[in-house]
């Protein structure tokens, strides 16, 4: 069954270009010119979107507010959201990611990049029920809590394993420092974010040849990119 992509974009030329190219790639599309219409289409049980491409600057309800509403609704809280934004400041990107967006793309963008990001996010969603991650070098068994790099077992602390698991299961997605602290250390943690950076550094060191699988997104957080 083909998947629906909901495009929430008030610039008609951009929305139509995205629609045309997505349908060439085998997706079905829904278009909303405002946040209010985007919310109605997202909540439509007859055509639930598999992913929402959301412009940050919208008339009426802003993209930030729409994302916040989507994350509150039981039927839409797990639908992945990729933000489209003309704003390149770290503050805007972090704000969107912290309220629940899965990724962001800064305008102007290439259609190929958008399609690649969409496929990466959808693959991540499909893999969330998988019990194991593997690439050419790294193997992570989420059930048995075992990690191997080039067949050598890596001994990690529970916190390091939880950190690697979160990053791996969100492969390709930018994880802000606050998201990592909330999900690995817990929402009650109020310590210094340097704790996270120290754990990332130790995790990379222990992973050795596989340490490059964790990419630093300057000023924002980290992203798991695997071993290519």
- What's the farthest any 2 CA atoms get from each other in the chain? 55
Query: In this predicted model, what pLDDT tens digit does every residue of 102-154 receive, in sequence order?
Result: 888 888 888 988 998 898 888 777 666 567 888 989 999 988 889 999 989 99
Let me know whether 120 and 24 are in one domain. yes
Q: What pLDDT shows up at residue 191?
A: 67
CA 205 to chain CA mean position, Å: 25
Q: In terms of domains, do 26 and 87 share one?
A: yes
What one-character DSSP code corresponds to residue 58?
Answer: -
pLDDT tens-place string over residues 19-45:
999 999 889 999 999 999 999 999 998
* 3-class DSSP assignment, residue 25: coil
* 167-224 per-position pLDDT tens digit: 998 888 889 888 898 888 875 566 677 889 999 999 999 999 999 999 999 989 999 9
Domain stops at, among 73, 108, 127 = 127
Task: Output DSSP code: residue 203.
Answer: H
For residue 2, the 8-state DSSP code is P
Residues 223 and 174 sit within 8 Å (Cβ to Cβ)? yes
Q: Compute CA 110 distance to the chain's CA centroid, rounded to the nearest angstrom.
A: 19
Q: Among 104, 127, 150, identify where a domain stops.
A: 127
- Confidence at residue 89, expressed as pLDDT on a 0 to 100 scale: 64
Among 127, 156, 177, identify where a domain stops. Answer: 127
The structural domain count of the chain equals 2
Domain of 207, CATH number, reads 1.10.10.10
pLDDT of residue 187: 55
Specify whether 218 is located in the same domain as 146: yes
pLDDT at 5 over 60: yes
157 and 62 within one domain: no
Mean pLDDT of 68-77: 90
* Phi, psi values for residue 151, rounded to 5°: 75, 0
Does residue 1 surpass a pLDDT of 60?
Answer: no
In this structure, what token pair is assigned to residue 134?
A: 């593997």
Q: Are residues 117 and 136 in the same domain?
A: no
Tens of pLDDT, residues 98-111: 888 888 888 888 89
Q: Quote the pLDDT of residue 210.
A: 95
| Sign (positive or negative) of CA dihedral 175, 176, 180, 182 | negative
C-alpha separations of 184 from 86, 166, 194, 199, 218 in Å: 31, 8, 14, 11, 20
pLDDT at 190: 65
For residue 150, the enclosing domain spans 132-224
Q: Report the alpha-carbon distance of residue 140 to residue 132 in Å, rounded.
A: 6
**Helical pair 12-24 and 111-127, crossing angle rounded to 10 deg:** 60
Do residue 10 and residue 123 come from a single domain?
A: yes
Predicted model pTM: 0.61
């Amino acid at each position: 069954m083909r998947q629906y992509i909901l495009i929430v974009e008030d610039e008609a030329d951009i929305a139509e270009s995205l629609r045309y190219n997505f349908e060439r790639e085998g997706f079905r599309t829904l278009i909303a010119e405002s946040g209010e219409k985007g919310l109605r289409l997202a909540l439509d049980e007859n055509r639930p979107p598999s992913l929402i491409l959301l412009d940050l600057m919208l008339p009426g309800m802003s993209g930030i507010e729409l994302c916040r509403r989507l994350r509150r609704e039981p039927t839409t809280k797990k639908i992945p959201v990729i933000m489209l934004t003309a704003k390149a400041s770290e503050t805007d990107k972090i704000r969107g990611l912290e309220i629940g967006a899965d990724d962001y793309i800064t305008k102007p963008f290439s259609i190929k990049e958008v399609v690649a990001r969409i496929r990466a996010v959808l693959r991540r969603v499909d893999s969330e029920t998988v019990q194991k991650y593997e690439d050419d070098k790294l193997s992570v068994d989420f059930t048995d809590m075992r990690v191997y790099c080039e067949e050598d077992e890596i001994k990690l602390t529970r916190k390091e394993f939880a950190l690697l698991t979160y990053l791996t299961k969100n492969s390709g997605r930018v994880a802000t420092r606050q998201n990592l602290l909330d999900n690995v250390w817990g929402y009650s943690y109020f310590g210094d974010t340097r704790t996270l950076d120290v754990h990332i550094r130790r995790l990379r060191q222990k992973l050795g040849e596989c340490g490059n699988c964790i990419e630093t997104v300057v000023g924002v957080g980290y992203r798991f990119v695997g071993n290519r």
